[in-house]
Amino acid sequence: MSERTPAEGIRAVGLSCTVNGVPAELDVAPNKRLLHILRDDLDLTGTKRSCEIGRCGACMVLVDGKPVNSCLTMAYQCDGRSVTTIEGIADADRLDPIQQAFLEEGGYQCGYCTPGMVISVKGLLSVTLDPTDEEIEEALSGNLCRCTGYGGILRSVKNVIAKYKEGY
């Protein structure tokens, strides 16, 4: 990471990371959060801005495969790391199995929390394809659904786990 001085005289930090498999090189203010880099600089608006204090999970992304609240992650913390947003988990022509399960089971209502929920489930299933109910609840504990769509969300998670067990 290198320091640069933009024309405005504000010190910027050179950020080099991979976002959804694509290298990204940006000059960012040292106090800029990952959420704002993704939405404002990279136009990846699937990551939602909501509470901005790490309580709702709407801004959840994977950093090196682990779920993090992008509203609490400083952009410079991602230097040299891999960031995956909701836009980066599907294949070009096919939804990720988790996204498909959310569609099949109605694991969304207004849809605002859905990207964060899907990312959290993706993080969980990268660790274990056979999580216990307690592990599922723990993985989703940082995500809030204000529409109270938890029944559909849990059915979606169970659906994708069953499909993985069948060799999806």
pLDDT digits 0-9 by tens, 32-45? 999 999 999 999 99
pLDDT over 50 at 4, yes or no: no
pLDDT over 50 at 54, yes or no: yes
**CB atoms inside a 10 Å sphere around CB 153:** 27
Which pLDDT score is estimated for 5?
A: 46
What does the mean pLDDT of the chain come to?
92
The tokens 């694509």 sit on which residue? 22
pLDDT over 80 at 92, yes or no: yes
Which pLDDT score is estimated for 89?
A: 96
What average pLDDT score do residues 140-156 get? Answer: 92
DSSP code string of 16-76 = EEEETTEEEEEEE-TT-BHHHIIIIIS--TTSPPS-SSSSS-TTEEEETTEEEETTTSBGG
4 or 134, which is more confident:
134
> Residue ranges of the domains in the chain?
3-86, 97-165
CATH number belonging to the domain at 97-165, selected among 1.10.760.10, 3.30.450.20, 3.30.360.10, 1.10.150.120: 1.10.150.120
- Say which CATH superfamily domain 3-86 falls into: Beta-grasp domain (3.10.20.30)
